[in-house]
């Protein structure tokens, strides 16, 4: 394709070339009709000439545009102009995950699990809507400065048997994460994405995809016949529990894989939490994490990070960076890698179902506990404490907030949170325990949603803006 910077493409002014990939080009463009800057992906002209590809492109772009999941970037429009297929979507600021791994090296298991969990959430939402991604790989994950992850490029991947895969170096990158059935006539569906997600987990932990890059024939053979590699044998310090998680996700037979992306993420969280387990009597689950850097606590901005949610397509590669534009928000807090440990966990095992839930037991009334807390909650933050008749069943501490989930005598769950920068607090009833771990709470006044997980506190505004705070410490009796 010819670089079109400075030209018009329908109603769009093409202002900056952001990246070039095997499927086409991505521009920062200005929509002259709606008066806004967007990310505009123009697919290669020959793709529009393929009726089957064009049909799937339109069908799946339509589905993706309807998804409402924070880790998928929203699609504004799609179609074709002058025989060129295009996708118009929101521009956000960040780097593709491949670039992050190249520049920073493999992630600490805690951070890797936090990123994996977000990608899995995007995949689960897509799968529930009947959409398979087909091309899950680090280049298709956008990571913002605070480690908020977006999965992009839904619905435009070609078949693993497509001869076009041999025409571009980027195709080898895609093949490094392809499930065995992608290279045959097997069914391509959610298990295909789970396999790729397991490959991505391997790279998060080790810094490299499961099988060495070579020609496509070598990669195909490895995915079809070679056993999944063991991350613990590649990178010292990685728990062998992760070996089982990767092997579960990379099973050759789709029927033998983890049933869902979320299930794989929960299994990875269990492996991370059990990585440094002392043999002590049973106690509430405790996940302690330490951010890298100076270790000083960063004050929370008075406004949450206003990032867009939901998304589709953009394979960006300018100096390894996906240059997107953040629409709204001014929170510049940066989350560092996290270390996760668990107290009194059972030996790591691979779940036999989709429910990889971290659970513990305690005599009589279980209470969550962390350093700096007592029987009611955080000693230093009065707004993050339970009433005398309540029991704290979950405690979380981020660099910006302290939160507690309190169980009332009736069994009702109450959420209390405090912003550390100014001690502003909020109390909300009707907190819901989420199968698989964590709690969801909705503010009935303005619709703001709070998601408390072992890896992060996520606040989703009624307008779809998202603010994520990685957990530094977390404890739960669930």
Residues serving a catalytic function are 135
Cβ atoms < 10 Å from Cβ of 181: 20
Which residue, among 12, 28, 171, 135, has the nearest Cα to 79 in the 3D structure? 12
Q: Does 137 carry a binding-site annotation?
A: no
CA distance 84 to 24: 10
Helix (H) or strand (E) holding 36: strand 36-43
For every residue of 65-128, DSSP letters joined together read: HT---TTBPPEEEEEEETTEEEEEE-----EEHHHHHHHH-SPPHHHHHHHHHHHHHHHHHHHH
Q: What are 402-406's contacts with CB under 8 Å, separation 24+?
A: 402/378, 403/450, 403/452, 403/457, 404/377, 404/378, 405/368, 405/431, 405/439, 405/452, 405/476, 406/377
d(CA 270, CA 357): 8
User: CB of 188 within 8 A of CB of 56?
Assistant: no
Tokens of 225: 């016949």
> Cα separations (Å) of 372 from 345, 375, 473?
22, 11, 11
Measured distance CA(165)–CA(219) in Å, rounded: 12
Query: Which residues sit in the known binding site for ATP?
Result: 41
């Amino acid at each position: 394709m010819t670089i079109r910077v400075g030209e018009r493409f329908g109603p769009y002014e093409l202002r900056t070339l952001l990246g070039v990939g095997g499927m086409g080009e991505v521009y920062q463009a200005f929509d002259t009709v709606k008066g806004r800057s967007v990310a505009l992906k123009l697919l290669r002209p020959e793709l529009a000439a393929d009726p089957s590809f064009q049909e799937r492109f339109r069908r799946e772009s339509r589905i993706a545009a309807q998804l409402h999941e924070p880790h998928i970037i929203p699609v504004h429009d799609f179609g074709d102009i002058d025989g060129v297929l295009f996708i118009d979507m929101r521009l956000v600021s960040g780097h593709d995950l491949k670039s992050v791994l190249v520049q920073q090296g493999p992630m600490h298991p805690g951070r890797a699990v936090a990123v994996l969990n977000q990608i899995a959430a995007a995949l689960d939402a897509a799968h529930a809507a009947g959409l398979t991604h087909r091309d899950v790989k680090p280049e298709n994950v956008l990571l913002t400065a605070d480690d908020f992850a977006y999965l992009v490029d839904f619905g435009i991947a070609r078949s693993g048997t497509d001869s076009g895969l041999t025409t571009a170096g980027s195709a080898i990158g895609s093949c490094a994460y392809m499930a065995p059935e992608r290279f045959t006539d097997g069914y391509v569906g959610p298990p295909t994405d789970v396999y790729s997600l397991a490959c991505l987990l391997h790279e998060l932990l080790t810094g490299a995809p499961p099988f060495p890059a070579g020609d496509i024939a070598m990669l195909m053979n490895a995915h079809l016949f070679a056993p999944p590699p063991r991350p613990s044998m590649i990178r010292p310090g990685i728990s062998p529990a992760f070996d089982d998680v990767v092997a579960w996700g990379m099973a050759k037979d789709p029927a033998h894989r983890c049933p869902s992306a979320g299930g794989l993420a929960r299994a990875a969280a269990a492996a991370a939490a059990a990585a440094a387990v002392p043999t002590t009597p049973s106690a509430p689950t405790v996940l302690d994490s330490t951010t890298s850097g100076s270790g000083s606590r960063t004050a929370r901005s008075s406004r949450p990070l206003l990032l867009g949610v939901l998304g589709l397509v953009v394979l960006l590669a300018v100096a390894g960076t996906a240059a997107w534009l953040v629409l709204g928000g001014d929170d510049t807090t940066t989350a560092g890698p996290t270390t996760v440990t668990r107290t009194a966990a059972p030996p790591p095992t691979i779940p036999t179902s989709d429910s990889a839930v971290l659970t513990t037991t305690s005599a009589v009334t279980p209470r969550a506990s962390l350093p700096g807390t007592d029987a009611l909650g955080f000693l230093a933050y009065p707004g993050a404490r339970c009433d005398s008749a309540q029991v704290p069943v979950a405690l979380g501490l981020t660099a910006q907030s302290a939160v507690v989930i309190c169980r009332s005598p009736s069994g009702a769950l109450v959420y209390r949170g405090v912003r550390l920068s100014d001690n502003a607090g909020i109390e909300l009833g009707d907190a819901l325990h989420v199968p698989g771990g964590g709690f969801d709470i909705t503010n009935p006044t303005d619709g703001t949603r709070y998601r408390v997980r072992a890896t992060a506190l996520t606040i989703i505004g009624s307008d779809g803006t998202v603010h994520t705070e990685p957990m530094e410490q977390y404890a739960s009796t669930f």
